[in-house]
Amino acid sequence: MATSLRVRVSIFWHFGDDSSLTGFWNNSYYIAVMNLDEIKRLRREYAYGELRTGDLHSNPFEQFNMWFQDALNANIDMADAMTLATVSATGVPSARIVALRGYDEQGFIFYTNYQSNKAVDIKHNPHAALVFYWKELDRQVRIIGTVRKTARGESGDYFSSRPMQSNLVQVASRQSQVVSSKEVIKDRINRIKQKHKNSSLVCPPYWGGYRVFPTEFEFWQGGLERLHDRFRYQWKDNSWKISQLEP
């Protein structure tokens, strides 16, 4: 008998003629039941290429830069999107997608509200992991490191370069806090617009950047017949040590 997956959701949707999905109401929740055999068949072959030791740059930042440029040249949509994983003071992990907003040989920069859940995690546990996944190139980059706030001047410069509407939302939003409706935020935005009708917005103290300072990189290249190529860079004894990992 096929195994089923039950998913608790708060809305109803129509499955049409898709025989792999069925559903039924259970009290006030809709239970979607999906045949797990369908999930098991969701697979693809990796055939883009290989990553060999001789292909690697000795500096992982340079290696990342080459791959990032490849992703941009391939016109991958949102090549700058990265998963940011943090851990709370009680050891509970969280992950979300954020935008890479700069990198150099110090680290990788993203911006957020300093009162958000991710910022609270970082305050209590200043370590994080990043993941870039470029499906079109069969490539993944994992980065582990420590996290510190960027300088206020750096955050202010980036804030000033952003579109007005984006900044209005950041100033108005109490990110990650419960809100009764979107209208509450829209009302705040309108009040801020009126207040700054003849002046520009200034980067608020509760918003700014973080830089992840890497201590470890892993470059993953999908391979034929699941023989993936994996190389890890670790910062040890004031230099980057490279190791090849099994798939």
Helical spans, DSSP H, in 75-228: 117-124, 152-161, 164-172, 182-195
Q: In what order do the strands lie in the sheet with 4-9?
A: 4-9, 29-35, 21-26
Distance of CA 186 to the CA centre of its chain: 26
Evaluate whether 155 touches 208 at the Cβ level (below 8 Å).
yes
Q: How many residues does the chain have?
A: 247
Q: Which of 43, 226, 230, 232 is catalytic?
A: 226
44 is catalytic: no
Distance CA 127, CA 163 (A): 30
pLDDT tens digits along 108-148: 999 999 999 999 999 999 999 999 999 999 999 999 999 99
Q: What is the 3-state secondary structure (H, E, C) of 153-172?
A: HHHHHHHHHCCHHHHHHHHH
In this prediction the pTM is 0.81
Among the ranges given (36-40, 63-67, 177-181), the one the predictor scored with the smallest mean pLDDT? 36-40
SS3 call for 23? strand
Burial class (CB in 10 A: 0-12, 13-18, 19+), 188: middle
Distance CA 39, CA 88 (A): 31
Instruction: Note the pLDDT of residue 28.
Output: 52
Residue with tokens 């110090």: 106
pLDDT tens digits along 43-77: 777 777 789 999 999 999 999 999 999 999 999 99
